[in-house]
Amino acid sequence: MRDSAGITIVQNHGDARGAQLGWRVGSSPAVDIGGGSTTGPYRVVEATRLGDGRIVVASAGANALDLYSPTGKHLRTIGRPGGGPGEFQALFWVSRLPGDSIAAWDAALGRLSVFTPSGDFARAVTPATSLGLFPQAAGVFSDGRVLVAVRSADAGFGSGVRVQRGEVSYVALGADGQVQPIGRFPGTEMLLSGGSGGGLLMRPLPFGRQTVAAVRGERVYVGTGDRFELRGYEPGGGLRVIVRAEHSPVPVTPASIRDYRRTLVTLGAEGDARLRQQQAQMLEQAPYPKQMPPFTELKIDAGGNLWTRDSNAPAARTARWTVFSPEGRLRGSVELPAGLIVREIGRDWLLATVLDDDQVEHVRIYALVK
């Protein structure tokens, strides 16, 4: 660790893959929500656990929130499709604010809706300045401000399949609608396919670099996937810390590409044969990277540890997560089932979304055994 002009730089040496922490999730879930219930999750975009153990699930398929008891019993539905107060057109995110108020983000309306801990609508927050098309909330600071990602909207023109990497700006949105810039970064690499008819298909580039961010306290950590590096920023304070680690690149093999295309599930295209064919052609012509990025996700647990999900082959049964201490020191690695979509990590529990063998969504809480 060293200091450079007020910025702490943490350089970790050694490979986390050979230093497992010994942490694991329980073999069976402590709480299981879903499995065919009429009040079960439907195209979950996010889930959060309140201070008293209740669980809030945001479903894009229903454009509504569902509130569950600590044991998984459905308590009430919050919101509905629409544009009025407490309604959603493109529900994209949910989290808890200080005091256990519930914050939900509508990407189409660019609006934050705040509900009481019991689920009653309290207020809406609209940014004082335009944030462009489909901004996305990404975390909550300790003072209650919400981190919002604003992506460049220019997809360009042209035919054929190509890769584009725009920019993403992060801002802090206050309860009064005021927006404070944090920084501008390279965005996630996107795969574009344009046709002579003027249509445009766009999806993240398979095995491409992904820009990730997570909030803890007064700081947001951002990683762009160019190298194994996380940068911590504070609104109004700029860059405060850089965390680096060694990384052995994983090659993208023909088998990896084949497995990716075989296991791919595209929401919204299941019943559209023409769209499925277009996406298959796009993936056939895609210029795949030669190496996988160093990580694809970033989470921060209740103890302040930073978790990055390593890139791995699509057919892998487990996913490796590299864990750093709150100060940025490499602690080791944790193996989790590959099918878990991690939503939140507590001190001794993990909240995740998973598909069962029948492709039915579940929201589950597992014990995190250390």
3-state helix, strand, coil in the chain (%, to 5): 5, 45, 45
State the average pLDDT over residues 296-319: 93
* Percentage of the chain modeled with pLDDT above 90: 73
Residue 321 vs residue 14, higher pLDDT: 321
The three-class DSSP label of residue 32 is strand
- What is the predicted pLDDT for the residue at 272? 64
- What is the predicted pLDDT for the residue at 211? 97
Mean per-residue pLDDT of the chain: 91
Q: Does residue 160 have a pLDDT over 90?
A: no
- What is the predicted pLDDT for the residue at 268? 47
Closest CA to 67 of 105, 96, 107, 24: 96
Q: Which domain holds residue 180?
A: 2-369
- What is the predicted pLDDT for the residue at 282? 86
Among the residue ranges 73-82, 168-177, 270-279, the one predicted with the least confidence is 270-279
52-95: pLDDT as tens digits: 999 999 999 999 999 999 999 999 999 999 999 999 999 999 99
Question: What is d(CA 269, CA 276) in angstroms, rounded to the nearest whole number?
Answer: 6
Closest CA to 344 of 93, 87, 163, 89: 93
- The model's pTM is 0.93
CATH number, domain of 242, equals 2.120.10.30
- Burial of 77 (C-beta count, 10 Å sphere; 0-12/13-18/19+): middle
Domains contained in the chain, number: 1
- Burial of 170 (C-beta count, 10 Å sphere; 0-12/13-18/19+): buried
